[in-house]
Amino acid sequence: MPQPTPTLPLQGRIALITGANTGIGRVTARELARRGAHVFLACRSAERTRPVLDEIRGLTGQTSAEWLPLDLADLDSVRACAQAFLARNLPLHLLINNAGLAGARGLTRDGFEMTFGVNHLGHFLLTQLLLDRLKASAPARIVTVASRAHKRTAGIDWDALTRPTQSLTGVQEYAVSKLANIWFSAELSRRLAGSGVSTYALHPGVVDTEVWRAVPWPLRPLLKLRGLLTPEQGARTSLHCAIDAPAQESGLYYADSHVETPTALGRDVGMAVELWQRSEAWVQQPARAKGDQAD
């Protein structure tokens, strides 16, 4: 007698993950697909995403992964990405704001400090544009990959967020962007109370990926001194938040698949609200007009 096909835990679930062509995002996308999810890989490059699509299709034996073009340093690209997804008229159960960079310098196309623009503001807009679909698909989750690097900043200089990267290494700007990730996830949870959509921010560990590729080369070995996790190990907390973390733990910050307490600044509700309000204004009124290339 033919055996019934076992049901996979995420069968019928749809996930969208940013920065899934390499590192932690690649493993996260693959593992979600292995558990039955249909995954949209929102990435900059078709060429760099193709090996991941092939890997997932090889593992699952199905066309369970698709590429969506997304450059988080360009808010028009973020809008086009959300529109392309929404046009498919599919539910969305999992949004994973994973993409990130460290050590990049300059401004985004819309005139925001590069690391802040990519790591926070692009994800802020993407999430806003997909929020109604997530609510309509509840229970749903939004996972934002932050970092314990948020501890390395004592505050936020709002004016600096519309100026080119000031520090030589970009590490200070990275810390600010990861603090913003934590504020964003917590404030989003407060605004989503009762909607069936829960949010999680996390530190993945110190992981051997390409994230430090833009940091000046003499510094890179210093950043990698401690025992590094593999990308497989680094994806565990993202997967825990996406699949297993209780919905009642919405808005919290995780490390090593457990709730952790961010810094006092990371828990500051007033600052989280201020970031939210400023982000709303910024995505409507960019810091500079497109085409103005002055850095």
Ligand X SMILES: NC(=O)c1ccc[n+]([C@@H]2O[C@H](COP(=O)([O-])OP(=O)(O)OC[C@H]3O[C@@H](n4cnc5c(N)ncnc54)[C@H](OP(=O)(O)O)[C@@H]3O)[C@@H](O)[C@H]2O)c1
105 scored as a contact of ligand X (CB under 6 A) = no
145 scored as a contact of ligand X (CB under 6 A) = yes
DSSP element (H, E) containing 143: strand 140-145
CB of 204 to ligand X, least distance (A): 5
Residues 14-33 that bind ligand X (CB under 6 A): 18-19, 21-25
For ligand X, the closer CB: 17 or 137: 17
Residues 180-239 that bind ligand X (CB under 6 A): 203-204, 206-207, 209-211
72 scored as a contact of ligand X (CB under 6 A) = yes
Asked if 98 contacts 200 with a C-beta cutoff of 8 angstroms, the reply is no
Identify the residue among 9, 12, 45, 132 touching ligand X (CB under 6 A): 45
For this structure, is 174 an active site residue?
yes
171 scored as a contact of ligand X (CB under 6 A) = no
CB of 274 to ligand X, least distance (A): 22
44 scored as a contact of ligand X (CB under 6 A) = yes
Identify the residue among 15, 56, 73, 131 touching ligand X (CB under 6 A): 73
Pick the catalytic residue from 174, 200, 253, 254. 174
DSSP element (H, E) containing 200: strand 197-203
Q: Which stretch binds ligand X (CB under 6 A): 3-11, 60-68, 98-106, 182-190?
A: 98-106
Q: What CA–CA distances, in Å, run from 228 to 27, 178, 206, 234?
A: 16, 19, 5, 9
d(CA 277, CA 295): 25
CB of 268 to ligand X, least distance (A): 21
70 scored as a contact of ligand X (CB under 6 A) = yes
E strand map for 19-92: 38-43, 65-69
- Residue 159: CB atoms within 10 A of its CB come to 7
Q: What CA–CA distances, in Å, run from 154 to 9, 157, 261, 265, 267?
A: 42, 10, 16, 8, 13
Peptide bond into 139 cis (omega under 30): yes
For ligand X, the closer CB: 67 or 137: 67
Q: Which residues pair with 107 in a beta bridge?
A: 113
d(CA 150, CA 203): 10
For ligand X, the closer CB: 191 or 220: 220
Residues in contact with ligand X by the rule CB under 6 A? 18-19, 21-25, 43-45, 48, 70-73, 98-101, 118, 145, 147, 203-204, 206-207, 209-211
